């Protein structure tokens, strides 16, 4: 008497459900990388390896980070749409574990692609731009947030492959490993945020940041500061971003009239239109 073919996890999950996990993991990995490294720790920008020409402008580099996050939003939206299309799959046993496995695979793939393409082939940035041994940081980051999530996701898929609809996951299955990786990611983010508090506390409290419109000469800023007690603390090499001390008495409107696109502590809706122009 012929026996019924075995039902495996690979035959009961539609392609949309599979790709929902991959794309959501990929997008969340990009957000994790961008928010932690670009904004909290500030170890690099997307284009930190480019220090010449228009792409070397700090304002352009910050804008590139924003465009990168916008792309991750698009990928995440695609993942959510695929998940909505295949939502009935959650009625299948172990579907949530399959989704989590694919999520970790997508999470790891992003860091592998980032390391190979961004760090080593194009060199547009490294994990620690100020490190005397950037390759060590690249490899360490790749192992922690690329290789480990990949291994966890692949092991979860192998555990689920061949599992019938009535089979159960063991109490010590891959869920423990997935929880450990999740805790590691959250802990790394919190640690990075805590470490970033030290330079923030040491920063002067009376500083004002001024971002000039592209193409405006520094002379215009000097003209706006004439007769004030403001002192220049720092500026980027292209003279587009200035940090001032003692600028409390400076007329902010005067700064805007002389070419400022943004002045910290004020509302500047004209800044966006300046970039569009």
**CA dist., res. 14 & res. 8, Å (int):** 12
| Torsion sign (Cα): 91, 94, 96, 99 | negative
What's the distance, CA 107 to chain centroid? 12
DSSP 205: S
- What confidence score (pLDDT) does residue 187 get? 64
- What confidence score (pLDDT) does residue 152 get? 93
- Segment 179-204 mean pLDDT: 54
Closest Cα partner for 181 from 154, 159, 160, 161? 154
Strand 260-263, strand 207-212: pairing: antiparallel
Q: CB–CB of 26/106 below 8 Å?
A: yes
Q: For the sheet containing 231-235, what is the strand order? A: 231-235, 241-245, 207-212, 260-263
Q: What is the pLDDT of residues 102-138, one digit of tens each?
A: 999 999 999 999 999 999 999 999 999 988 899 999 9
Q: CB–CB of 79/27 below 8 Å?
A: yes
**CA dist., res. 219 & res. 213, Å (int):** 13
DSSP string, 225-274: HTTS--EEEEE-TTS-EEEEES-TTS-HHHHHHTTEEEETTS--THHHHH
Q: What is the pLDDT of residues 44-88, one digit of tens each?
A: 999 999 988 888 888 888 889 999 999 999 999 999 999 999 999
The backbone torsions φ and ψ at residue 264, rounded to the nearest 5 degrees and listed phi first, read -60, 140
Q: Beta-carbon neighbour count of residue 194 at 10 Å? A: 10
**CA dist., res. 10 & res. 53, Å (int):** 50
Residues in the chain: 277
Q: CB–CB of 105/151 below 8 Å?
A: no
pTM above 0.85, yes or no: no
Q: CB within 8 A of 10, min separation 6: which ones? A: 161
User: Does the pLDDT at position 186 exceed 80?
Assistant: no
Q: Where are the domains of the chain?
A: 9-200, 204-276
Q: What is the largest CA-CA distance in the chain?
A: 99
**CA dist., res. 132 & res. 219, Å (int):** 36
CATH of domain 204-276: 3.30.70
**CA dist., res. 233 & res. 133, Å (int):** 30
- Segment 147-173 mean pLDDT: 70
User: Does the pLDDT at position 92 exceed 70?
Assistant: yes
Strand 260-263, strand 231-235: pairing: unpaired
Q: CB within 8 A of 55, min separation 6: which ones? A: 47, 61, 64
Closest Cα partner for 113 from 172, 82, 71? 71
């Amino acid at each position: 008497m012929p026996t019924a073919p075995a039902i495996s996890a690979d035959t009961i999950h539609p392609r949309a459900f599979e790709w929902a996990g991959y794309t959501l993991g990929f997008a969340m990995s990009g957000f994790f990388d961008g928010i932690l490294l670009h904004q909290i720790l500030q170890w690099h920008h997307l284009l930190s390896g480019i220090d010449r020409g228009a792409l070397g402008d700090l304002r352009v580099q910050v804008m590139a980070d924003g465009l990168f996050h916008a792309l991750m939003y698009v990928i995440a939206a695609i993942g959510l749409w695929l998940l909505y299309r295949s939502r009935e799959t959650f009625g299948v046993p172990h579907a949530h574990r399959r989704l989590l496995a694919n999520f970790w695979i997508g999470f790891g793939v992003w860091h592998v692609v980032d390391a190979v393409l961004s760090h080593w082939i194009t060199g547009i940035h490294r994990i620690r731009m100020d490190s005397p041994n950037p390759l060590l940081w690249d490899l360490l980051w790749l192992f922690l947030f690329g290789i480990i999530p990949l291994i966890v996701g692949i092991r979860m898929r192998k555990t689920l492959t061949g599992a019938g609809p009535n089979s159960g996951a063991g109490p010590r299955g891959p869920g423990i490993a997935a929880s450990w990786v999740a805790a590691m990611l959250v802990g790394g983010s919190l640690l990075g945020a805590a470490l970033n508090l030290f330079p923030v506390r040491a920063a002067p409290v009376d500083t004002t940041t001024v971002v000039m419109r592209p193409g405006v000469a520094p002379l215009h800023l000097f003209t706006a500061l004439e007769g004030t007690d403001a002192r220049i603390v720092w500026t980027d090499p292209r003279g587009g971003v200035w940090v001032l001390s003692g600028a409390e008495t400076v007329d902010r409107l005067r700064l805007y009239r002389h070419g400022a696109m943004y002045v910290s502590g004020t509302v500047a809706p004209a800044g966006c239109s300046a970039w569009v122009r």
